[in-house]
Each structure stands twice: as structure tokens, then as C-alpha cells.
Amino acid sequence: MRILLFLIAIGLNAQQYDLVLKGGHVIDPRNNINRVMDVALAGGKVAAVAENIPAAGARRIADVKGLYVTPGLIDIHVHVYAGTGHARVLTGDSSVYPDGFSFRSGVTTMVDAGTSGWRNFPDFRQRVIDRARTRVLALLNIVGGGMGVSSEHDPADMDGELTAKMAKAHPDVVVGFKTAHYNGKGWPSVDGAVKAGNLTGLPVMVDFGYINEERNINTLFMDKLRPGDIYTHCFSSHRDEILNGKLNPAMDAARRRGIIFDVGHGGGSFYWNVASVMYAAKFEADSISTDLHTGSMNGGMKDMTNVMSKMLSLGSSLESVIRMSTWNPAKEIRRTELGHLTVGAEADVTVLALERGNFGFLDSAGARRAGNQRLAAELTIRKGQVVWDLNGRAATDWQKFIYRKR
């Protein structure tokens, strides 16, 4: 009997991994990995990335042969301040609860892009951020009421010092600042957001709003923003990203200066006639994001993997698309503990299928572009726990499953 118990104990100790993803093609741009390898998880962390990890050392095995294993996807432009009851605004009914949308599209980290400001961020945190299984971080709007509660065009509600103070009170989740939609005179929204950025050492994301003779992207890039600040909606052409059918030289100049370019697809900020010109000029985005809200998810945007697939159709390599969805956004929000599969990192992992066939992708105008590759989330793991499993790859066959009475 003692021998039997001893052998059982040895067997249990040998199972050093909670889950091993076997046979997948690992793409981890931060660690320059792009080949078939196994990934082992234990205690909510990445435990090993190597060839032929022994199956005997795992409690569970997921066969992911023919699929791509990547760090958990990071979407740095979403709107998830739901549940307030405010109608027809992003600070309310137009937002989406994160867990209902994130994992099924391979996303483990979302960054809410300015839906709340310094005045209502504490409500957003307790209502959404602290209750979500998705990692939810935030860019604070320079407008105190965020998007919809007060006017985004009122300089009186733009306070860089109070915004910075709120960010300093929540350093675990606030990763920067957002200015959006402003259509008035001068630069109060951008100047206020940059002031908050300077007071905290955090980046600013700009949805530039409306341009005029004074407010133009050349001035924005050369005089207002700092290296490391993020220009979202880069394929929209609402703000002269292309001129006379060619890439605006201001875009290249801004990139040389260190400005970051983010997709921010949304409901009205991604057009094929713009993206094709920019790709012809070899101008890829630095990061892929969705600008998720109830309008974009039901329009041309759909979800993160759909936007990633659009980049493939334009000519980006798969490795580049993964980089733009993992390591690059992690660096942009200065959370470099995310976006990679380094041993010891938190086990946020996405397994993607790359489907081949005849597909169609819509832009914000409803125009279609054909593509022959489409990404889909097969398996999503958050902190070592399977949170999305499209085909039950990490599950036990029902005939071997031990059912327990409830």
C-alpha cells in the first residue's frame, strides 16, 4: 500500500504543468520566436516554451497542431464603460461590457480609450474594471465627464492637473490620456492632455476631431505631440492623412519624430481607398485596435481578428500582424510585462486559426475588399485559465469526463 501511494505521489509531482499547448506554431515577436514549439503553463504563468515538452508532465494537453500560438491580444482602443443607463452615448449604452466580447476574439487586455474622465473614472472602475475577468486598463479623457456626459467641445471641462491627479491615484490601471472629437478653436484638448502626460510621464492618444487652417496634422505632429504619443484612426483620412491620392508627408515626418500610429477602426475611421494608398507607400500602422462599441461591432469592424485579417489582406505578414496586436501595443502603453510569452510572464495566450478561402471584408463605408486569409480565435487563456475554447481543444472528451451531481 505504501509503495502504491508513493508511486501515485511521484506521478502527481511529475505533472508540473497545468496545461501544455502541443504542436502549435508559436509567434512571439518580443522573443523573436516564429516556429513550431510547445507552450506549458503552470500557476497562471508561462512555465516553458520549448520543442517537444513531455505530455506526461501535464495535467491537460491541448492539441494545437496547425494553429498559431501567440501572446494574448491587446486592444488599446475600446469603449467599455457600460451600465450607466445613459442612452446613445459611449459613456453608457453605446459601450460594451468587456467580458462579453474580449475572449471570443482572442483579446485578453483591453484599454478603454477615454470613455471616462477624471470626474467619473471612479464609477467606471468599480462598475466595470474591477468586475471584469478581462484585464481592462484606461486612457483618461481630458474632458472631466468623458464621452457623452458633458460636452467634449467645452474647454471649461478640460483640466490637465485634475486628470493627472486621478491617474496618479490609479496607477495600476490608468496608462495614459485621450483627447477626442474636439471641434472648437485652438488646442485646449490636446494641450490639456499633453499637460497631464507631462505631469505623469504617460502617453497621450489623439482622435484629432476636426481640422481647420489652424488645427492641422502637421502642427499636431511637429509642435503639439511628443515622441511616444499615439495618433489613432490613422486610416481614416478625415484629417488629411492622404493628399491628392498620396501619403501626406506629415505622416512620414511624424513617424521619424516618434509619433505612434494606431488603427482604431471604429464605425467611421477605416477606408480601403485610404489604407491601400498608405500601404502602397509602405506605411503600416504600429498597432491594431478596434475602437469597439455597439456601432462598430455590428458594422465593418466586427472584432479584433477581423481587423487583423484586413491587415493581412493589405499585405502585412502574419508575424507583423501579431506584433501589431501584442508586443507593440504593450510598449505603447508602457506595460512591457504584457504582450509576450517569456517564461514567468502571466499566462495570457491566444491560439489562432488562419483560415484560407474566399472572404470579404468591409470598411467603414460598407465597401468590400476580397481576401484569401482570415484569422479566428480558437482558444483564449487568461491568467492560465481557459476562457474561450471554440472547439474544445483543452477539454476532456465527454466519454472520459467524470460528471458530478449538482
- In CATH, what number is assigned to the domain containing residue 152? 3.20.20.140
124, 144 in Cβ contact below 8 A?
no
Chain centroid to Cα 370, Å, comes to 24
Closest among 314, 243, 238, 230 to 279, alpha carbons compared: 314
**In this structure, is residue 131 part of a structural domain?**
yes
If one counts the domains in the chain, the total is 1
**In this structure, is residue 222 part of a structural domain?**
yes
288, 307 in Cβ contact below 8 A?
yes
**In this structure, is residue 105 part of a structural domain?**
yes
287: DSSP letter: B
**In this structure, is residue 406 part of a structural domain?**
no
For residue 380, count other CB atoms closer than 10 A to its CB: 26
**How far, CA to CA in Å, does 172 sit from each of 41, 175, 394?**
25, 8, 31
**In this structure, is residue 173 part of a structural domain?**
yes
**In this structure, is residue 384 part of a structural domain?**
no
**In this structure, is residue 119 part of a structural domain?**
yes
323: DSSP letter: H
180, 291 in Cβ contact below 8 A?
no
Q: How far apart are CA 231 and CA 260, in angstroms?
A: 6
The CA dihedral of 293, 116, 286, 282, to the nearest 10 degrees, is: 60
**In this structure, is residue 391 part of a structural domain?**
no
**Domain span holding position 228:** 72-332
How many residues are given for the chain? 406
* Bridge pairing between strands 230-231 and 260-261: parallel
Closest among 131, 181, 189 to 155, alpha carbons compared: 189
Q: How far apart are CA 221 and CA 240, in angstroms?
A: 13
Residue that is written with C-alpha cell 501584442 in the block: 326
**How far, CA to CA in Å, does 56 sit from each of 13, 19, 53, 381?**
11, 11, 9, 21
2 backbone φψ class: left, alpha, beta (φ>0; ψ -120 to 50): alpha
Residue that is written with C-alpha cell 499585405 in the block: 315
Q: Which segments within 209-251 are labelled E, that is strand?
A: 230-231, 242-243, 246-247
Q: How far apart are CA 172 and CA 194, in angstroms?
A: 20
69: phi then psi, degrees, rounded to nearest 5: -105, 125
Residue that is written with C-alpha cell 515577436 in the block: 29
List the chain pLDDT tens, one digit each, 406 residues. Answer: 454 443 344 444 457 999 999 999 999 999 999 999 999 999 999 999 999 999 998 999 999 999 999 999 999 999 999 999 999 999 999 999 999 999 999 999 999 999 999 999 999 999 999 999 999 999 999 999 999 877 889 999 999 999 999 999 999 999 999 999 998 899 999 999 999 999 999 999 999 987 888 889 999 999 999 999 999 999 998 889 999 999 999 999 999 999 999 999 999 999 999 999 999 999 999 999 999 999 999 999 999 999 999 999 999 999 999 999 999 999 999 999 999 999 999 999 999 999 999 999 999 999 999 999 999 999 999 999 999 999 999 999 999 999 998 7
305, 105 in Cβ contact below 8 A?
yes
Angle between helices 318-325 and 304-314 (to 10 degrees): 140
